């Protein structure tokens, strides 16, 4: 067991790192590690590996360990050992979730990230979900965050009541990623639980600033794959009291985030490849590849934030 399981991830920007693939769908470790280093130089506090943007359901057990170990070694070698690694470990059963957590720890992860089980969606009542997380917390080798993302769990949306109960009863549960976009839920959780032991985190760029105002511990944002510095700048503007500039920047991020969502995971990688010159817009099937050319109305708001990113 972790000797200090109630220490949450530090405040800041976390990139849910995309996983690049070669044409034959094998791991493109060269592009993925280059991407991780660009994130590190962009001022992020950590990386989330094998989340939704990392295509966790498409990765084999050994590939997950290779990714974590390779990225960890790359960060340490290049002087970024302080960056935290949060690793997706969600599975349909308690048994396999614990196996993923053990494998993630062995590969160098600092935290796990666990989705509710979604195969038997109709059976996933609040008591069942709470028991699932509690049983994992009792045996986990890593502290972990709950991952609330109804879009990938058949609509399962964990309530603030459940999150608060789980956190109070299980010290190994040290945070939650709220991709649901519910700022009210985030504020209820953040204002109830001590920041010293629990991190409530926004899960999208498009509500980053409102979430920070509501008590978010930073943001885990897909758009940070494209513009990590800009997310760090948003946090800085708010922290220094320049609310007008923060609101203006948040507006640009919101438009870019909405455009990026229309492209899907492969499109995130396509945007990175187009603007930063590495990787390609390819996912494992059935997701397939992103568009050869991104439509102008989608590309335009992304280009706006990329220009700002490159000016920082």
Chain centroid offset of residue 199 CA: 13
Catalytic residue among 72, 105, 177, 185: 177
Output DSSP code: residue 13. Answer: E
Give the Cα separation of 144 and 137 in Å (integer).
8
Q: How do residues 216-275 score in pLDDT, each as one tens digit?
A: 999 999 999 999 999 999 999 999 999 999 999 999 999 999 999 999 999 999 999 999
Q: How do residues 24-65 score in pLDDT, each as one tens digit?
A: 999 999 999 999 999 999 999 999 999 999 999 999 999 999
Give the Cα separation of 2 and 172 in Å (integer).
8
Output DSSP code: residue 52. Answer: T
Catalytic residue among 147, 185, 229, 269: 147
Q: Is 177 a catalytic residue?
A: yes
Q: How do residues 140-173 score in pLDDT, each as one tens digit?
A: 999 999 999 999 999 999 999 999 999 999 999 9
Is position 212 annotated in a ligand binding site? no
Domain locations in the chain as residue ranges: 12-229
Mean pLDDT of the chain: 96
Output DSSP code: residue 84. Answer: E
H or E segment at 237?
A: helix 228-239
pLDDT at 2 exceeding the cut of 60:
no
Q: Which of 100, 162, 170 is nearest to 137 (CA)?
A: 170
pTM tops 0.85, yes or no: yes
The pLDDT of residue 290 is 85
Q: What is the CATH number of domain 12-229?
A: 3.20.20.70
């Amino acid at each position: 067991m972790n000797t200090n399981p109630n220490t949450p991830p530090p405040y800041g920007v976390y990139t849910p790192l995309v996983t690049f693939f070669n044409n034959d769908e094998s791991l493109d470790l060269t592009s993925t590690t280059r991407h991780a280093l660009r994130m590190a130089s962009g001022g992020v506090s950590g990386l989330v590996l094998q989340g939704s943007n990392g295509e966790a359901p498409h990765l084999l057990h050994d590939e997950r360990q290779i990714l974590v170990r390779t990225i960890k070694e790359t960060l340490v070698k290049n002087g970024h050992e302080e960056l935290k690694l949060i690793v997706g470990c969600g599975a349909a059963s308690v048994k396999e979730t614990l196996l993923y957590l053990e494998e993630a720890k062995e590969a160098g992860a600092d935290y796990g990230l666990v989705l509710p089980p979604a195969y038997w969606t109709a059976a996933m009542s609040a008591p069942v979900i709470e028991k699932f997380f509690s049983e994992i917390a009792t045996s986990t080798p890593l502290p972990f965050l709950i991952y609330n993302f109804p879009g990938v769990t058949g609509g399962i949306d964990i309530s603030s009541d459940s999150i608060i109960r789980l956190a109070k009863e299980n010290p190994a549960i040290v945070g939650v990623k709220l991709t649901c976009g519910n700022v009210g839920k985030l504020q209820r959780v953040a204002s109830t639980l001590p920041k010293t032991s629990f991190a409530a985190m926004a899960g999208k760029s498009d509500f980053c600033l409102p979430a920070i105002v509501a008590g978010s511990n930073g943001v885990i944002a897909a758009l940070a794959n494209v513009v990590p510095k800009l997310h760090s700048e948003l946090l800085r503007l708010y922290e220094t009291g320049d609310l007008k500039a923060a609101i203006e920047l948040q507006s640009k991020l919101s438009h870019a985030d909405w455009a990026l969502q229309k492209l899907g995971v492969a499109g995130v990688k396509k945007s990175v490849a187009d603007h930063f010159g590495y990787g390609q817009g390819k996912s494992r099937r059935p997701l397939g590849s992103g568009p050869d050319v991104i439509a102008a109305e989608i590309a335009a708001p992304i280009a706006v934030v990329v220009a700002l990113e490159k000016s920082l």
